């Protein structure tokens, strides 16, 4: 950490907490620290609608900013504590964000900063960490104001990104959290003041000293936040929040008058807040997990009980519920599209959600032919939405980078990411076919053979559609590349792996012609492992390789442990059906010997 940053942090400490007050607050219980700055929920809901400009220039409600910052600091969307009556209570992100600026001295002592599990053992000698893995901001500085992690942070940043250990990365994350906290304490994130006729369209925070407003506006800018904090004190002490509410309306009027060119409509603000409070995609993940697993199990049972009418009704009911989730997910994508102002597949999180939805669409197209199709789509959705909500991807809505501000985002990216949904569904259907072949190895049934053939046909159709989309999308990407970068093809990792995927799936779809004998088994094996090219094209290139399409710029992420389990399991599933072939050969040879022996005897 740079020295000037340390000095600024130290100055903030001196500014907000004098030694006497710090000693007094230090003896308070967590609920007492919270109660002295606990702002009424009905008021924070109004404060949440105030618009703010983030450091990337996006205008959004404070509700969104609060949620993003608290997730980074605390690792959760809310903060729980035990009150005086020993009952569990929760603070919303907006309550925390506003409270940290209103009474930063309390939040310096509250244990709400997340510490990664692997870093706890290394840091517990330096800072006090509670049993849940959280600590307070005050723990990072000694009595002389020295930053305890300074040497560790300097060592971590001195290393090349590819050579940083897990601990180094954890230290960098913790250091970022501390910087965010101090930025909130001193009001740096509260960019709620637009300047009239400002060509840069920049909004300003109360701490920005270089800005000069017009006379009346400057008076408002300099006095409104201290006045607002005074009104918050009145509300907390007397329960009268009228003046604080009126201050919010004054700030919103100031924004409407000065920021007319960029201010967001009230409808869009309310919808974004609704999305913040209602995690649609997380609901879909839970629903797909429950119903998808049930549907795929019922589909296996239906093979052995084909004439069971109650079972068919249960399958139809599960399909209907999954279809409702599919509609809900589509509405969530449309709402995100409206709120963000651009097509919702501009980053890894959005693309994963969109591919999951396209995969579900592909499954429902073929649901009449087999219930395995929507069941496999549900499993695909579980994987993709689960990854999207993991730690690898950022769910924040952001402004588009300049190169993506093109109508080609709507065309090229939609087609090429949509192709992943169809191709991935085909690969999952091949996995189900191979599992059925494994079952048939030990229990030879005509119904199972028919289901395998049916799934293989669906697989071929979905893979053909996906291959057409992937090929067309790649050609359209070349046209966009020529418009943006002045060349159609540059062997960028993304371009290269898209071409590799096209070649691999072209080979898979021509197996029927090249290897007609036993092609169903060979096709399903190849289709299953062809999924690896898609995973590399979508995830590997974006997060492991450096290129024009990369999100991580080549900084390596640890390979998930489940990869080392999935690959051997897939190999075993692919090998087991060969046992059946050997059994048949053995029976056939034995039969021939018997026939030959009988002929000789005759």
CB 111, CB 97: distance < 8 Å:
no
**For the chain, percent of residues with pLDDT exceeding 90:** 49
pLDDT attached to residue 391:
65
Tokens of 550: 């990369």
Return the pLDDT at 585.
43
Q: What parts of the chain have a pLDDT lower than 70?
A: 1-24, 391-392, 543-560, 580-602
pLDDT confidence of residue 559: 64
pLDDT digit string (tens) for 5-43? 444 444 444 444 444 455 567 778 888 889 888 999 999
pTM: 0.85
Nearest to 530 by CA among 559, 568, 570, 565: 570
- pLDDT attached to residue 142: 83
Alpha carbons 424 and 357: distance in angstroms, whole number: 12
Give the single-character DSSP code of 59: E
In the 8-state DSSP scheme, what is residue 147? B
pLDDT at 134: 93
Position 389 scores a pLDDT of 85
Q: What is the pLDDT of residues 268-295, one digit of tens each?
A: 999 999 999 999 999 999 999 999 999 9
329's CB contacts (< 8 A; 6+ apart) are 280, 281, 284, 353, 356, 357, 360, 381
CA distances from 230 to 27, 224, 241, 244, 247 (A): 25, 10, 11, 8, 10
Q: Residue 416, CB half-sphere, CA atoms under 13 Å: how many?
A: 27
For residue 284, the number of C-alpha atoms closer than 13 Å in the C-beta half-sphere is: 31
Tokens of 228: 């607002």
């Amino acid at each position: 950490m740079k020295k000037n940053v340390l000095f600024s942090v130290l100055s903030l400490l001196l500014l907000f907490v004098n030694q006497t007050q710090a000693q007094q607050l230090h003896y308070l219980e967590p609920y007492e620290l919270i109660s002295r700055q606990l702002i009424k929920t009905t008021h924070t809901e109004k404060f949440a609608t105030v618009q703010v400009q983030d450091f990337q220039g996006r205008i959004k409600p404070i509700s969104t900013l609060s949620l993003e910052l608290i997730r980074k600091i605390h690792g959760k969307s809310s903060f729980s504590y035990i009150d005086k009556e020993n009952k569990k209570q929760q603070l919303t992100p907006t309550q925390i964000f506003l409270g940290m600026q209103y009474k930063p001295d309390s939040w310096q002592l509250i244990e709400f900063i997340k510490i990664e599990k692997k870093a706890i053992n290394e840091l517990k000698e330096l800072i006090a960490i509670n049993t849940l893995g959280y600590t307070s901001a005050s723990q990072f500085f000694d009595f002389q104001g020295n930053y305890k992690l300074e040497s560790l942070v300097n060592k971590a940043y001195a290393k090349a990104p590819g050579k940083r250990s897990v601990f180094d990365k954890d230290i960098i994350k913790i250091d970022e959290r501390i910087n965010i906290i101090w930025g909130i304490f001193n009001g740096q994130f509260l960019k709620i003041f637009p300047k009239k006729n400002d060509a840069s369209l920049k909004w300003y925070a109360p701490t920005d000293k270089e800005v000069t407003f017009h006379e009346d506006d400057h008076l408002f800018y300099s006095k409104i936040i201290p006045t607002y904090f005074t009104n918050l004190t009145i509300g907390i002490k007397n329960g009268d929040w009228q003046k604080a509410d009126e201050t919010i309306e004054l700030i919103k009027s100031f924004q409407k008058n000065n920021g007319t060119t960029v201010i967001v409509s009230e409808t869009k603000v309310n919808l974004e807040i609704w999305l913040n409070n209602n995690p649609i995609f997380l609901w879909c993940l839970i629903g797909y997990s429950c119903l998808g697993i049930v549907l795929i199990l019922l589909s296996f049972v239906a093979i052995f009980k084909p004439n069971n009418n109650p079972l068919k009704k249960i399958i139809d009911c599960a399909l209907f519920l999954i279809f409702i989730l599919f509609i809900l997910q589509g509405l969530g994508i449309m709402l995100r599209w409206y709120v963000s102002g651009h097509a919702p597949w501009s980053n890894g999180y959005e693309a994963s959600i969109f591919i999951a939805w396209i995969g579900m669409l592909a499954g429902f197209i073929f649901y009449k032919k087999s219930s395995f199709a929507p069941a496999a789509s549900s499993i695909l959705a579980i994987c993709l939405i689960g990854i999207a909500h993991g730690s690898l991807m950022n769910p924040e809505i952001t402004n588009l980078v300049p190169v993506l501000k093109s109508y080609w985002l709507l065309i090229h990216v939609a087609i090429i990411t949509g192709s992943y949904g169809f191709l991935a569904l085909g690969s999952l259907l091949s996995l189900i076919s191979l599992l059925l072949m494994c079952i048939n190895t030990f229990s030879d049934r005509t119904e199972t053979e028919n289901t395998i053939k049916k799934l293989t046909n669906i697989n071929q159709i979905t893979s053909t559609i996906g291959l057409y989309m992937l090929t067309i999308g790649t050609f359209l990407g070349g046209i966009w590349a020529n418009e943006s970068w002045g060349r159609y093809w540059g062997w960028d990792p993304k371009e290269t792996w898209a071409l590799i995927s096209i070649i691999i799936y072209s080979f898979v779809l021509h197996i029927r012609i090249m290897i007609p004998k036993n092609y169903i088994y060979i096709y399903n094996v190849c289709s299953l492992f062809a999924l690896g090219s898609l995973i590399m094209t979508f995830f590997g290139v974006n997060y492991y390789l450096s290129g024009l399409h990369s999100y991580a710029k080549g900084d390596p992420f640890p390979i998930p442990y489940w990869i080392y389990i999935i690959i051997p399991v897939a190999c075993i599933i692919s090998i087991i059906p060969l046992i059946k072939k050997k059994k048949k050969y053995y029976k056939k040879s034995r039969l021939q010997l018997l026939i030959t022996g009988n002929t000789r005897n005759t």
